[in-house]
């Protein structure tokens, strides 16, 4: 549908005009315009919400296995090296 030539657009416009009528076309175009404006603003809001979250992410913390363990055994005595 991206390869429409001039006369194909004219036929398509004529079909739309016959289906919706000349009086409803401005309202239809206005509704489509408002919908696109809302859609664009929502997409922008989603991108804005994602950007700060990525920039303020917390640094990686070491896993529990990587954290240092105390040098005492479970009974309170020091471990043998």
Please give the Cα distance from 4 to 6 (Å, whole number).
Answer: 7
Residue 39: helix, strand or coil by DSSP?
helix
Give the Cβ contact number of residue 25 at 10 Å: 14
Domain boundaries, the chain: 22-51
pLDDT in tens, 19-41: 888 888 889 889 999 999 999 99
Contacts of 46 (CB under 8 A, 6+ apart): none
Q: Residue 17: what pLDDT? A: 86
* pLDDT surpassing 60 at residue 62: no
Residue 7: helix, strand or coil by DSSP?
helix
Please give the Cα distance from 70 to 75 (Å, whole number).
Answer: 12
């Amino acid at each position: 549908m991206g390869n429409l030539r001039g006369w194909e657009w004219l036929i398509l416009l004529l079909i739309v005009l016959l289906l919706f009528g000349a009086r409803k076309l401005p309202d239809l175009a206005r509704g489509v315009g408002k919908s696109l404006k809302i859609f664009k603003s929502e997409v922008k809001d989603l991108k804005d919400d994602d950007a700060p979250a990525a920039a303020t992410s917390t640094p990686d913390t070491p896993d529990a296995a990587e954290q240092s363990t105390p040098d005492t055994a479970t009974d309170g005595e020091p471990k043998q090296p």
